[in-house]
Structure 1
Amino acid sequence: MSARREDAGADTPADGGVLGGTEQAVGRLSAAILRILAARGVPASEEVKGRIIGETHLDVLERWLQRAASAATVEELFRETAGP
């Protein structure tokens, strides 16, 4: 069993897999945003889909995910908040 752990560790990043976990989280959040928009009937152009899929910051994706639940347009999804 210990040999198996060594083999598995050989392919993981030096940071212990954190980078891979972050990439997975980014992918899951992006997919969830697109699914929510589609389920709610909010149209998303290929450009919008590319912007969502291309975003790599978890905090931004989490904010977009929250907004996707109530946004009537993708413009609402991407809007910057002004003030508190």
Structure 2
Amino acid sequence: LFRSHQPIGFMAALGFVAVFAGAANTPLACTLMAMELFGAPIGLFAALACVISYLFSGHTGIYKAQRVGQAKRQP
């Protein structure tokens, strides 16, 4: 199987913020949350994970009152 040389805690932290970014449709806020919770060095990796999760998450989120300002992707 695929083996990563990254610590398990690091990967779990990225998974946590990526799932929340996709569910809440808030990649920037989740990137900042990752940096606050886990330290500044995780910022670049968290940003990448959060943006990818956000792009693949669809147009609905966990907040019903959230309005979509513009579409994520152009058809």
Q: Give TM class, smaller chain.
A: 0.3 to 0.5
Q: TM-score, normalised by structure 2?
A: 0.34
Q: TM-score, normalised by structure 1?
A: 0.31
Rg larger in structure:
1
Higher helix share: 1
